[in-house]
Amino acid sequence: MPKLIKNGQLVDDDARILVLDETQAPEELTLAAGPVFVPFAVWQAHKGQLSGRAGLGVWLDSHEDVAELVPDLDSISAVALNFPKFTDGRAYSSAALLRTRYGFTGEIRAIGDVMRDQFFFMQRCGFDTLQPKAGKYSDAQLEEALASLKDFSTPYQAAVDQPEPLFRRAARAA
């Protein structure tokens, strides 16, 4: 089973990330059983049936506004935020908003172009689950990549993982 990082540990995960191709209308979709992340458009089209389904998550692309998901957050256990390219940093703001402004306590998963070099930033912004693309890292490499979560031991700023900035957390010598 493929592995990903959840709360700083390697875990098995076989959730599918459902991607619509251009010809597919979200309304026409039938979902096979099993854990799956559906695109935001599919969620909107099938909210009624999908609500409360076990193992269901919704994924948003980087241009999609997390605010639109807010009325539904109580019925979703996991949100995945896509990085179409790892240099597209919008999902950092989306994750931070989900955690701080919208109070989402479920899983926030980073998907798409996810590299170990972003892990530290992702975790700081509220991602608890990090899923590099299939084949990006071997299990051994992913194990090794856990070290990137600890690239910096004491960051300066307040963020989701450390809600206070260093100047409030520590007594710094003048």
Among 19, 51, 74, 101, binds another protein (CB under 8 A): 101
158 binds another protein (CB under 8 A): yes
Indicate the burial class of 155 (C-beta count within 10 angstroms; 0-12, 13-18, 19 or more). Answer: middle
Among 93, 105, 133, 143, binds another protein (CB under 8 A): 93
Please give the structure tokens belonging to residue 108: 């926030």
Q: Cβ 48 to another protein, closest distance in Å?
A: 30
C-alpha to C-alpha distance for 58 and 69, rounded to whole angstroms: 9
Residue 123 or 131: the one with the smaller Cβ distance to another protein is 123
3-state secondary structure (DSSP) of residue 80: strand
Q: CA-based Rg of the chain, rounded to a whole angstrom?
A: 17
Interface segment toward another protein; rule CB under 8 A; list 7-15, 35-43, 104-112, 113-121: 113-121
159 binds another protein (CB under 8 A): yes
Q: Cβ 46 to another protein, closest distance in Å?
A: 27
Kindly provide the b/e burial profile for residues 45-74, where b requires at least 16 CB atoms within 10 angstroms of the residue's own CB: bbeeebeeeeebbbbbbbebebeebeebbe
Nearest 10 degrees: Cα torsion 93, 11, 52, 21? 70
Among 1, 87, 103, 134, binds another protein (CB under 8 A): 87
Among 2, 8, 34, 163, binds another protein (CB under 8 A): 163
89 binds another protein (CB under 8 A): yes
Interaction site with another protein (CB under 8 A): 86-90, 92-94, 96, 100-101, 115, 117-118, 120-122, 124-125, 141, 151-159, 163-168, 170, 172-174
